């Protein structure tokens, strides 16, 4: 199977920790920004998948983040000392993956436990964009390892 690539034209939002009520029930506030991001991931996936993939899958996630103006010179070039890669202010990379993988349950696969190969990266770019590439884990790949 070939790769299916989703483009989400927004900044990746990490999955936050759930909060607990006084009774101990865990919940995600309705105002959490990750909800809108997950809805964008779902909308992109629903246009590409007729049914969930069966069996193991591989996933590549790339988060592109627009550099803050404070990182740039007046000519639009990175300032000396500006970070080479997006850091902690944009969230933990594993929480970005969690938000995306959870969103694709029941659409790209039945359960994200099917993901057996996961590659996630964050980079600076001129636009905020998240790409998610998904492929069934084929027998030909298993033999080559």
| CATH number (domain holding residue 52) | 3.30.1330
Q: In the structure encoding, which two tokens stand for residue 106, read together?
A: 């029941």
Q: Which range marks the domain in which residue 48 is found?
A: 32-144
Is residue 73 in some structural domain? yes
Is residue 18 in some structural domain? no
What's the average model confidence in pLDDT over 39-64?
96
The residue with tokens 């964050």 is: 122
Residue 144 confidence class, pLDDT cut points 50, 70, 90: very low
For residue 20, list its beta bridge partners. Answer: 26
Is residue 5 in some structural domain? no
Are 55 and 113 contacting, i.e. CB atoms less than 8 angstroms apart?
Answer: no
Is residue 136 in some structural domain? yes
Task: Give residue-wise pLDDT tens across range 87-138.
Answer: 878 888 998 999 999 999 999 999 999 999 999 999 999 899 999 999 998 7
Is residue 41 in some structural domain? yes
Split into its structural domains, the chain has a count of 1
Is residue 64 in some structural domain? yes
Are 95 and 38 contacting, i.e. CB atoms less than 8 angstroms apart?
Answer: no
Is residue 21 in some structural domain? no
Q: Which carries the bigger pLDDT value, residue 96 or residue 24?
A: 96
How many helices and strands, by DSSP H and E, does the chain display? 3, 6
């Amino acid at each position: 199977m070939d790769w299916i690539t989703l483009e989400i034209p927004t900044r990746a939002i990490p999955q936050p920790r759930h909060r607990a009520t006084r009774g101990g029930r865990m919940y995600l506030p309705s105002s959490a920004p990750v909800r809108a991001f997950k809805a964008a991931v779902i909308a992109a996936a629903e246009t590409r998948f007729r049914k969930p993939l069966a069996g193991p899958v591989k996933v590549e996630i790339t988060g592109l983040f627009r550099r803050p103006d404070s990182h740039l010179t007046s000519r639009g070039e990175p300032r000396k000392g500006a970070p080479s890669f997006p850091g902690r202010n944009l969230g933990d990379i594993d929480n970005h993956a969690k938000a995306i993988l959870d969103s694709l349950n029941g659409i790209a696969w039945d359960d994200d436990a099917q993901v057996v190969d996961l590659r996630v990266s964050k980079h600076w770019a001129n636009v905020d964009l998240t790409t998610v590439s998904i492929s069934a884990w084929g027998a030909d790949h298993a033999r080559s390892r």
